[in-house]
Amino acid sequence: MQTTESRPVRFALTALTLAFLGVFLVVPLAAVFWEALSKGWDLYAAALVEYEAWQAIKLTLIAAAIAVPLNLVFGVAAAWAIARFDFRGKSLLTTLIDLPFSVSPVVAGLMYVLLFGVNSAIGGWLAAHDIQIIFAVPGIVLATVFVTFPFVARELIPLMQAQGQEEEQAALVLGASGWQTFWRVTLPNVKWGLLYGVILTNARAMGEFGAVSVVSGHIRGETNTIPLHVEILYNEYNFVGAFACASILALLALVTLAVKTYVEWRIERQHTASLIRTQQAREALA
Amino acid sequence: MKKLAVRTLAAVLLSVPALPALADVTLLNVSYDVMRDFYKDYNPAFQKHWKGKTGEAVTIQQSHGGSSKQAMSVVGGLQGDVITMNQAPDINILAERGALVPKDWSKRLANDSVPFTSSTVFLVRKGNPKGIRDWKDLAKPGVQVIVPNPKTSGNGRYSYLAAYGWALKQPGGNDASARAFVGKLFGNAPVLDTGGRAATTTFMQRQIGDVLITFENEAEMVAREFGRGTFEVVYPSLTVSAENPVAVVDKVVDKKGTRKQAEAYLAYLWSPEGQTIAAQNYLRPQDKQVAAKFSAQFPPIKAFRVVDVFGSWDKVMKTHFADGGVFDQIYLKK
Amino acid sequence: MNLIAKRYSVLPGFGLSLGYALFWLGLIVLLPFAALALTASTLGWTAFIEQVSAPRVLASLQLSFGAALIAAAVNALMGFLVAWVLVRYTFPGKRFVDALIDLPFALPTAVAGIALTTIYAPNGWLGRYLEPLGVKVAFTPLGIVVALIFVSLPFVVRTVQPVLEDLEKELEEAATCLGADRWQIFRRVIFPAVLPALLTGSAMAFARATGEFGSVIFIAGNIPLVSEIAPLIIISKLEQFDVAGATAVAVVMLALSFFVLFLINLLQWWTARRHGMK
């Protein structure tokens, strides 16, 4: 049965795809590493051991470490509510969860400055109590949470909808408590999808530039993340340093993507395994 | 889950609010983009001076960004003890919104609180192939001019004002002829980068354009970073004096109790040491003696002050750079 | 009035999960939006209209949304092709290519912008070959499109890919038996099945591209009325300390984004309904 294209067509389409991805993905990635190493390994290494670069890397990791769990908990709660129950205003809620995807990062940062800046009601109260949110680490964390807000929920909702709730209902009927059902049934079922969401959240959290730039205050060695540090170095004509730090982010991205590929491979295997199990169960019944 | 969430939230909000106080005193200098190099040299000098005088160790933190953006951050609550900007409106805004400094802040220090100045000059390709000598050459057809966006960059604003002021002072020059001139000049700009440094990168790294308009001290930075043989500096017949005002942010220093150190930090800019460091960074010092010592690197120029030609900065911003102002008209008329 | 009515379900935790989701949504998303709307409202209606209908603002909105539309269209076509090749064909290094698709999500946008400018500047890797052909990419609207294609590339691929994977081979086999050629099968069988996902992916790519700033700013050229994007207008208004004016433009961008996203969700609803009817 011929359900695929002829060899030349296949070849041409594959070549076209690879050419497109080559120009739009591989070349920019290569450019980052090429520029970073253009003056040799010594300068590359020197750019990375600099005190301020380290501070930036630390801050980036801290911001991601706080933002990711927060969005993880939110994503699971939102997915549970949306995928397991019917209620009015559901599609509005889904749209609102998606909104941070399409808000310009600059606007996102601006919103937090308006909300927590000293001229607002909240900001005035915070200032009177000596709590600094904006232009300090909490502001950076908030901006990061905002831009990565939808990832986990978006990943989980379709997955949980597709899986249905029969297994959970069965667990409840068999006498499990709500929490037991969640930990023993729901979570194992969605764990790889959850991990994929977390990975994307993490990648985006570490790379965010626009929103963080607005709320950071740009205090050197204090409130600069890696993307902001890259900008500073670039503005100092330190192209090697800028691209070296950028390459660290690119490497983090690549590691993240490698983990993601592994995760997907696991999901596939899990999927196949469950298919086989179902098949075996059917055969046993017959 | 709710309890956990509340706890996490509380932990996040409470654990990181205050900036850590490392040394006895920490000063935050909120500055603009291209002042990094100067303060990199100046801060250690002041720290040594202050330690010798009072025995107190001062930590100085630096924050850099676009001048106006930085000013807005201070208005929004960035706890800067001192603010060192590249134009007076960026400190005036602190007086207007939130009364962070008194209205007459500029009178508190010598020279209208301007410790050093720079001037707008041209960088041209080696050998000056297009024969660029003065402003009029920039408006010629076929000359590509690289200049930062006056809407987003102080450097771009001074460039624009220098060109406008030059055109005003030409025989028979008036507002109409000056507008026509800057219109032609910006018509020759293929790129309007958002900042001075980005414009330099476009000119030097991407090799776009025949002439770059930038500050004299930036030209020196270009020489240090890209090599001296690759370009030439051209001084126009008339240019603007770019004034970099500084001020103590009263509201912040009074809250933090750092007024004494902050005032000393700025006052030291006028000391012979501070002025020398400025001159070494190719910023024209106010101190006559230091200026004389470095006269070799500062060719005499004819430069006007913005307030002398345009009245007040307030008027400049409203007439020229506000939305729908003269700068916008350049593009709308086309 | 009871806006949120729960339908009967044996599962527990509705109140807790929805309550927490709404609380977090309110804190992170809605509260800041309120601050934005409040600031914009200080302008008053006439001033608001005046702000957002200024020629530079209109031109920038047109550019941001126009370039995003072109980028989304390119990604719809090429993203579909990429998904097709990744699902249907095998070639060496396929896993690596597949992993690379998400790169634009992870690479900081400013780095992407600098890298793209390095490549497409007239003396850059590709720019030097394009320049003699009369094709200028960096510092033109074309550069903006290139940057937007980069940042929104993963969306179409990642929404179409699972649908193509789930597509039942039996349908194609049946069509082949009935004498249809490959092109007919593609047009009549495959394309209609993939269309909803393709639309969803393109719409998300479009929404993401409209607000993009970091990667565009380096390559755009930023000439007023020609290559000045809407987020840059917001920045330059802030530079003039015109916070209310900046929020006015931001509100318009947000309203447009919300509209596009709402369309996406309608599309998803439509897809689900069609799926249900099968």
For A1-22, give the DSSP string.
---S--HHHHHHHHHHHHHHHI
- Within this chain, do residues B208 and B328 fall inside the same structural domain, yes or no? yes
The verdict on residue C2 lying in a domain is no
Task: Report chain A residues whose CB lies below 8 A from the CB of B225.
Answer: 237
CB contact, 8 Å: A156 with chain C?
no
Residues C24 and C119 in one domain: no
Do C91 and C211 share a domain, yes or no?
Answer: yes
Mean pLDDT value of segment B108-123: 94
- Quick one: C209 and C132 in the same domain? yes
CB-neighbour burial class of residue C242 (10 A; exposed 0-12, middle 13-18, buried 19+): middle
CA dihedral B79, B85, B26, B37 (to 10 degrees): 140
Which of A245-254, C28-37, C162-171 has the highest average model confidence (pLDDT)? Answer: C28-37
Tens of pLDDT, residues C211-267: 888 888 888 888 888 888 988 888 888 888 888 888 999 999 888 878 877 777 777
How large is the average pLDDT for residues B117-125?
95
Chain C residue with CA closest to B93: the answer is: C241
Comparing CB atoms, the residue among C222, C238, C245 nearest residue B193 is C222
Do B130 and B227 fall within a single domain? yes
Residues C36 and C59 in one domain: no
| Statement: residue B284 has pLDDT above 80 | yes
Q: Is the per-residue pLDDT at B234 higher than 90? A: yes
How many domains, chain C? 2
Mean pLDDT, range C171-188, rounded to an integer = 83
Q: Are C188 and C175 in contact (CB under 8 A)?
A: yes
| A119 CB-contact burial (10 Å; exposed 0-12 / middle 13-18 / buried 19+) | middle
**Model pLDDT, residue C272:** 64
Whether B1 has a pLDDT exceeding 70, the answer reads no
Q: What is the pLDDT of residue A77?
A: 93
Q: With bands split at pLDDT 50, 70 and 90, how would you rate the model's confidence at C273? A: low
Is residue C47 situated within a structural domain? Answer: no
Question: Does some domain include residue C270?
Answer: yes
Q: Which residues of C touch A31 (CB under 8 A)?
A: 115, 118-119, 125
| In a shared domain, residues B205 and B281 | no
C50 belongs to a structural domain: no
Q: Please, which pLDDT band fits residue B28 given cuts at 50, 70 and 90? A: very high
B2: chain C residues, CB-CB within 8 Å? 16, 19-20
Percent of residues, chain B, with pLDDT higher than 90: 67
Say if residue C26 is in the same domain as residue C145.
Answer: no
With contacts defined as CB-CB under 8 Å, which chain B residues touch C243?
72
Q: Is the pLDDT of residue B279 over 80?
A: yes
Whether B220 and B323 share a structural domain: yes
Q: What pLDDT shows up at residue C9? A: 67
The pLDDT, as a whole number, for residue A197 is 83
Model pLDDT for residues A184-220, shown as the tens digit of each residue: 888 888 887 788 788 888 888 888 888 888 888 888 8
The reply to whether B5 falls in a domain is no
Shared-domain flag, residues B99 and B230: no
Question: Are B199 and B148 spatial neighbours (Cβ–Cβ below 8 Å)?
Answer: yes
Q: And the tokens for A117?
A: 């800046």
- The average confidence (pLDDT) of chain B is 89
Per-residue pLDDT of C95-145, as tens digits, reads 888 888 888 877 888 888 888 988 998 888 888 898 888 888 888 899 999
Asked whether residue B169 carries a pLDDT value surpassing 90, the answer given is yes
Name the pLDDT band for B66 (thresholds 50, 70, 90): confident
Q: Is the same domain home to C37 and C73?
A: no
Please tell me whether residues C150 and C175 are part of one structural domain.
yes
Mean pLDDT of chain A: 85
pLDDT at residue B113, as a whole number: 95
- Share in percent of chain C as helix, strand, coil (round to 5): 75, 0, 25
Could you identify the residue written with the tokens 């709402």?
C262
Tell me how crowded residue C248 is: count the other CB atoms within 10 A of its CB.
Answer: 27
Nearest chain C residue to B324 by CA distance is: C54
Q: Is residue B297 part of a domain?
A: no
Residue B19 clears pLDDT 50, i.e. is over it: no
* Dist CA B269 CA B35 (whole Å): 13
Residue-number span of the structural domain to which B60 is assigned: 22-115+244-290
Specify whether B68 is located in the same domain as B206.
no
Same domain membership, residue C81 and residue C21: no
**pLDDT classification of A3: cutoffs 50, 70, 90:** low
Q: Beta strand B284-285 with B116-125: parallel, antiparallel or unpaired? A: antiparallel
Using the predicted structure, report yes or no on whether residue A278 has a pLDDT greater than 80. Answer: no
Indicate whether A125 pLDDT > 90: no
C139 occurs within a structural domain: yes
Structure tokens at C77: 């076509």
Label residue B118 by pLDDT band (50, 70, 90).
Answer: very high
Across A145-154, average pLDDT = 88
Query: With an 8 Å Cβ cutoff, is C204 touching chain A?
Result: yes
Using CA atoms, how far apart are residues C251 and C33, in angstroms rounded to an integer? 9
Within this chain, do residues C150 and C17 fall inside the same structural domain, yes or no? no
CA distance C271 to C278: 11
pLDDT in tens, C79-105: 999 999 998 888 888 888 888 888 887
| Residue C278: predicted pLDDT | 39
**Domains of chain A from N-terminus onward:** 51-226 (1.10.3720.10)
Confidence of residue C2 (pLDDT cuts 50, 70, 90): very low
Q: Rg of chain B over CA atoms, in angstroms?
A: 22
- pLDDT recorded at residue C8: 54
On whether the CB atoms of residues B59 and B280 are closer than 8 A, the answer is no
State how far the Cα of A73 lies from the Cα of A71, in Å rounded to an integer. 5
**Using the 8-state DSSP alphabet, how is residue A24 labeled?**
I
Checking if the pLDDT of B9 tops 60, the result is no
- Residue B296 falls within a domain, yes or no? no
- The region that residue B193 occupies, defined by phi over 0 for left and psi between -120 and 50 for alpha, beta otherwise, is beta
Give the DSSP H or E segment for C166: helix C141-166
pLDDT of residue B326: 92
How confident is the model over B293-310, as pLDDT tens digits? 999 999 999 999 999 999
The stretch B275-291 carries a mean pLDDT of: 94
pLDDT of residue B13: 45
* Biggest alpha carbon–alpha carbon distance for chain C: 69
Q: pLDDT category, B45, cuts 50, 70, 90?
A: very high
Residues C16 and C75 in one domain: no
Judgement on whether residues B279 and B227 belong to the same structural domain of the protein:
no
For C194-200, what is the mean pLDDT? Answer: 81
Q: Which residues contact B170 (CB under 8 A, 6 or more apart)?
A: B177
pLDDT(C3) > 50: no
Domain count, chain B: 2
| pLDDT for residue A40 | 84
What span, in angstroms and rounded, lies between the C-alpha atoms of A65 and C276? 40
Q: How far is residue C119's CA from residue A164's CA, in Å, rounded to a whole number?
A: 48
CATH code (residue C65): 1.10.3720.10
Average pLDDT of chain C, as a whole number: 84
For A202, the token pair is 């993490």
CB A224 within 8 A of CB A216: yes
Does C5 have pLDDT greater than 50? no
Q: Which of C107, C187, C233 to mutate to test the interface with A (most CBs of A within 10 A)?
A: C107
Q: Would you place residue B22 in the very low, low, confident or very high pLDDT band (cuts 50, 70, 90)?
A: very low
Side-chain-facing half-sphere of A82: CA atoms under 13 Å: 28
B5 with C117: Cβ contact below 8 A? no
Distance from C-alpha of B59 to C-alpha of B21, rounded to nearest angstrom: 9
* pLDDT at B244 exceeding the cut of 70: yes
CATH number at residue B64: 3.40.190.10
Contacts of B194 in chain C (CB under 8 A): 217, 222, 232, 235
Interface membership of C181 toward B (CB under 8 Å):
no
Distance of CA A166 to the CA centre of its chain: 30
The DSSP H or E segment spanning B84 is strand B82-84
Q: Are residues C36 and C165 in the same domain?
A: no
> Chain A residues with CB inside 8 Å of B9's CB?
70
| Interface contact flag, B322 C240, Cβ < 8 Å | yes
C31 touches chain A (CB under 8 A): yes
Mark whether C99 and C167 lie in a shared domain: yes
Q: Report whether pLDDT(A263) > 90.
A: no
Nearest to C243 by CA among B98, A99, B161, B250: B98
Closest Cβ–Cβ partner in B1, B76, B225 for A113: B76
B66 and B131 housed in the same domain: no
pLDDT at B58: 93
**Are B304 and B240 within 8 A, CB to CB?**
yes
Which residue segment(s) compose the domain that C36 sits in?
A: 10-41
Per-position DSSP letters for B23-45, written without gaps between them: SSEEEEEEEEGGGHHHHHHHHHH
B235 and B273 in one domain? no
Nearest residue on chain A to B8, judged by CA atoms?
A70
- Residue C5: inside a domain, yes or no? no
- Which of A106-115, B67-76, C21-30, C199-208 shows the lowest per-residue confidence on average (mean pLDDT)? C199-208
Q: Do A119 and B97 count as a contact with CB atoms less than 8 A apart?
A: yes
**Residue B249: band (very low, low, confident or very high) from pLDDT cuts 50, 70, 90:** very high
In-domain check, residue B70 = yes
Q: Which chains touch A (3 or more CB pairs under 8 A)?
A: B, C
B141 is a domain residue: yes
Task: Choose the weakest-confidence range: A272-281, B47-56, B117-126, C201-210.
Answer: A272-281
Q: Please, where are the H alpha helices in chain C?
A: 14-25, 31-41, 45-52, 55-88, 94-100, 103-106, 109-120, 127-130, 141-166, 169-177, 182-185, 191-210, 214-217, 230-239, 243-277
Mean per-residue pLDDT for C156-171? Answer: 81
H-run or E-run covering A226? helix A226-235
Which band of pLDDT confidence, cut at 50, 70 and 90, is reported for residue A105? confident
CB-nearest partner of C139 from B2, B190, B207:
B190
CA distances for B139 relative to B181, B216, B240, angstroms: 7, 21, 18
**Model-level pTM?**
0.85
Residue B161 has pLDDT above 50, yes or no: yes
Phi/psi class of residue B99: alpha, beta or left (left: φ > 0; alpha: ψ in -120 to 50)? Answer: left
Quick check: B143 and B130 in contact, CB under 8 A? yes
Rounded Cα distance, B81 and B249, in Å: 5
- At residue A1 the predicted structure's pLDDT band, cuts being 50, 70 and 90, is very low
B12 pLDDT above the threshold of 50: no
Q: In which band, very low, low, confident or very high, does the pLDDT at B187 lie, cut at 50, 70 and 90?
A: very high
CA distance B128 to chain C (A): 20
Q: Looking at residues B302-321, what average pLDDT do you find?
A: 92
Clarify whether residues B188 and B322 are in a common domain. Answer: yes
- Quick one: average pLDDT of B170-190? 94
Which range is least confidently modeled, B66-70, B237-241, C3-7? Answer: C3-7
Nearest to B323 among C218, C243, C245 (CB): C245
Q: Is the pLDDT of residue B2 over 60?
A: no
Same domain membership, residue B202 and residue B146: yes
